[in-house]
Amino acid sequence: LYTEAEAESVLNDRTSENKSYEIIRPSMISLKSKLSSDEEYDEKALETLSSSAKKNPALIGTLVHKLMESIVSSGNTAELSSLIKDICDNYGITDSYYSDILKTVGEKIQNGGYPQTGNLPQDILTELLSADEVHCELPFCYAGEENKIFNGVIDVIYRKNGKWHIIDYKTNTDDSDLDKQYEGQLSAYIEAFKATTGEDADAAVYHIVVN
């Protein structure tokens, strides 16, 4: 009787072990090439393009994102050197190469920002500090169409004059047509925000030059 019951058990159906959904990270969506709409480039490859003078572009990007979050979240009231020390300590960074980069970026952001080829203002810090509402490193997860689950983190989203705006920081060597190159990622952020809040937003890249 036990053997018969075991043979007929619903637990013998292993089809449920097959993945019925796809988890998508917007930051990993293929890029649109500025050279051809038919060509696509992996984000990691673009980040490391012409990076022979860099030690670790991925780490630099992470540290710069954390610095931007810290400056904005503190309302630009925290001492820059203290923020940099805390970030380096948290990531176990002892090489001054990285702290020097953060110092350069922080001072630039606090003193007018970087010239932009896209739609965002150069002085992004003043823009964010004058907003009605600002959220940094905002995680999201929502179920889209065709059994796709979108999971990621939005660098910055803010509300000003009744409108929501999404910002994605990039430290690419090449700063041309970034909004176009990252159109897929930005669209995913807009869709995620709409799905989770019911609010509309626009989205754009803010380019941070890392030498």
- So what's the pLDDT on residue 106? 98
Q: What is the model's pTM?
A: 0.75
In contact, 63 and 93? CB cutoff 8 Å? yes
Handedness of CA 170, 176, 181, 185 (dihedral sign): positive
DSSP annotation of 58: H
* pLDDT(27) > 90: no
Q: What is the Cα–Cα distance from 89 to 143, expressed in whole angstroms? A: 36
Cross-strand bridge partners of residue 206: 169
Higher per-residue pLDDT: 191 or 20: 191
Higher per-residue pLDDT: 32 or 114: 114
In contact, 109 and 125? CB cutoff 8 Å? yes
pLDDT class of 190 with cuts at 50, 70, 90: very high
* pLDDT(60) > 50: yes
Higher per-residue pLDDT: 12 or 112: 112
- So what's the pLDDT on residue 87? 96
* pLDDT tens, position by position, 159-177: 999 999 999 999 977 777 8
Cross-strand bridge partners of residue 88: none
The helix/strand count (H/E) of the chain reads as: 8, 7
- So what's the pLDDT on residue 32? 47
pLDDT class of 37 with cuts at 50, 70, 90: very low
Name the nearest CA neighbour of 84 among 75, 169, 96: 96
* pLDDT tens, position by position, 71-119: 999 999 999 999 999 999 999 999 999 999 999 999 999 999 999 988 8
In contact, 102 and 87? CB cutoff 8 Å? yes
Average pLDDT over the chain, rounded to an integer: 81
pLDDT class of 69 with cuts at 50, 70, 90: very high
- So what's the pLDDT on residue 4? 61
